[in-house]
């Protein structure tokens, strides 16, 4: 029998919005500790979360050690030093930047600032979970436009989905989980068709990996020509190796967008250590270039070996591969765990036979390839 306390909670809980009660949970992936404990394996290849296995520049660690004495002080609330550095480097006015506790924090802030219950939001499928979850958390309806059989974005279909006008068009480029990119002309076409009521959010979390490919466009330049409201998102979690510290940033077409988001975000949303680390990381670009080069080399090797085994792999510009298995991805991924290999099985119904595997250090990649060759149905 329910106690009185449970009954009163039930009444309270019935008042929670349907949007929150039916919200899917973000699949945040498994930790090394969890897999060690539950699968009894010691050597873990953590290839489920697109982290940079080489970690940040040694200069970042040095800067963090020095900054540790100051953790009793609140962080700088608007990341002024970082703002200055990036404004200068990217030739963008300082007041067009916003910083977040990871760029996922900024996706949440964007949503709370610009989206209301009943609004439409358009993204691509397969989707980055938070591009769907955050808008849905405030009661928006999310429409996802699927990529074609060659894993490319169908621009005509994206444009068709802009009617009726959504409040937001948000997508990752390169896409997570697919790893493919649209072209500069594709983006221009999207911009030309964008209704006046729509904010374009271009999430470039994997920029550093993609721009190792000389054909990858300068999308900040393309956006800068546009006369529509847009926000470009970037992160220090991937190539810069700072996922554990949580810092990302956004650049807006105009300071008015930032001004509104600034009211909605938590005042101290980027912690002191993250700011120190980001500054040091951005000052050691040679290190990042080295990380990217190793990753790109390993990406080519992993893709070739998977194709050799007879699997279809999307042509990725990022630090992961989207692989079509010949069975349910969830079941395959669970079997890979018994070999200490963590990957991310995709769960969107049309892609439930796809696995996303991050490009790790060579040894982890070998562990993955050996386990896959042994375990995956062919």
Ligand X SMILES: *Cc1c(COP(=O)(O)O)cnc(C)c1O
Of the candidates 128, 240, 249, 346, which one interacts with ligand X according to CB under 6 A?
A: 128
Q: Which of 304, 378, 307, 375 is nearest to 341 (CA)?
A: 375
Answer yes or no: are the C-beta atoms of 175 and 153 closer than 8 Å: yes
CB of 50 to ligand X, least distance (A): 6
Q: What phi, psi does 373 have (nearest 5°)?
A: -60, -35
- Which residue lies nearest ligand X, judged by its C-beta? 102
103 is a site residue for ligand X (CB under 6 A): yes
Q: Which of 320, 341, 375 is nearest to 44 (CA)?
A: 341
Nearer to ligand X, 187 or 376 (CB): 187
Q: What phi, psi does 309 have (nearest 5°)?
A: -80, -5
111 is a site residue for ligand X (CB under 6 A): no
CB of 176 to ligand X, least distance (A): 4
Only one of the segments 102-110, 141-149, 280-288, 359-367 lies at the binding site for ligand X (rule: CB under 6 A); that segment is 102-110
CB of 327 to ligand X, least distance (A): 25
Nearer to ligand X, 252 or 371 (CB): 252
Nearer to ligand X, 108 or 376 (CB): 108
358 is a site residue for ligand X (CB under 6 A): no
- Rounded Cα distance between 317 and 321, Å, is 9
172 is a site residue for ligand X (CB under 6 A): yes
Beta-carbon contacts of 31 under 8 Å, excluding residues fewer than 6 positions away, are none
126 is a site residue for ligand X (CB under 6 A): no
- Rounded Cα distance between 246 and 269, Å, is 10
Of the candidates 201, 205, 210, 337, which one interacts with ligand X according to CB under 6 A?
A: 205
As given in the structure block, the two tokens for residue 305 are 């070996």
Only one of the segments 90-98, 215-223, 230-238, 297-305 lies at the binding site for ligand X (rule: CB under 6 A); that segment is 230-238
Centre a 10 Å sphere on the Cβ of residue 285 and count the other Cβ atoms it contains: 13
235 is a site residue for ligand X (CB under 6 A): yes
Q: Which of 96, 270, 285 is nearest to 207 (CA)?
A: 285
- Rounded Cα distance between 259 and 36, Å, is 45
176 is a site residue for ligand X (CB under 6 A): yes
Q: Which residues of the chain form contacts with ligand X (CB under 6 A)? A: 50, 102-104, 128, 172, 176, 203, 205, 235, 237-238, 243, 248
């Amino acid at each position: 029998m329910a106690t009185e306390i449970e009954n009163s909670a039930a009444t309270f809980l019935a008042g929670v919005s349907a949007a929150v009660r039916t919200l899917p949970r973000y699949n945040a992936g498994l930790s090394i500790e969890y897999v060690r404990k539950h699968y009894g394996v010691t050597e873990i290849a953590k290839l489920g979360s697109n982290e940079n296995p080489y970690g940040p520049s040694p200069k970042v660690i040095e800067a963090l050690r020095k900054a540790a004495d100051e953790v009793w002080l609140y962080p700088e609330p608007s990341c002024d030093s970082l703002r200055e550095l990036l404004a200068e480097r990217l030739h963008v006015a300082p007041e067009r930047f916003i910083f977040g506790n990871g760029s996922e924090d900024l996706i949440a802030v964007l949503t709370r600032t610009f989206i209301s219950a009943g609004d439409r939001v358009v993204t691509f499928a397969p989707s980055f979970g938070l591009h769907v979850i955050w808008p849905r958390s405030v009661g928006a309806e999310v429409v996802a436009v699927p990529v074609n059989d060659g894993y490319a974005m169908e621009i005509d279909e994206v444009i068709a989905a802009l009617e009726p006008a959504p409040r937001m068009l948000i997508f990752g480029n390169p896409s997570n989980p697919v790893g493919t990119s649209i072209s500069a002309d594709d983006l221009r076409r999207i911009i030309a068709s964008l209704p006046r009521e729509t904010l374009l959010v271009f999430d470039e979390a994997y920029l550093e990996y993609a721009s190792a490919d000389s054909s990858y466009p300068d999308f900040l330049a393309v956006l800068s020509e546009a006369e529509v409201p847009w926000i470009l998102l970037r992160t220090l979690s991937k190539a810069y190796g700072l996922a554990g510290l949580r810092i990302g940033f956004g650049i807006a077409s105009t300071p008015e967008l930032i001004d509104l988001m600034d009211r909605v975000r938590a005042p101290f949303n980027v912690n002191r250590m993250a700011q120190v680390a980001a500054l040091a990381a951005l000052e050691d670009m040679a290190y990042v270039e080295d990380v990217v080069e190793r990753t790109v080399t390993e990406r080519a090797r992993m893709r070739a070996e998977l194709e050799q085994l007879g699997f279809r792999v999307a042509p990725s510009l990022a630090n992961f591969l989207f692989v079509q298995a010949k069975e349910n991805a969830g079941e395959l991924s669970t079997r890979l765990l018994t070999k200490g290999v963590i990957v991310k099985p995709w769960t969107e119904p049309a892609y439930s036979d796809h696995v996303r595997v991050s490009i790790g250090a060579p040894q982890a990649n070998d562990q993955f390839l050996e386990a896959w060759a042994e375990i995956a149905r062919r």
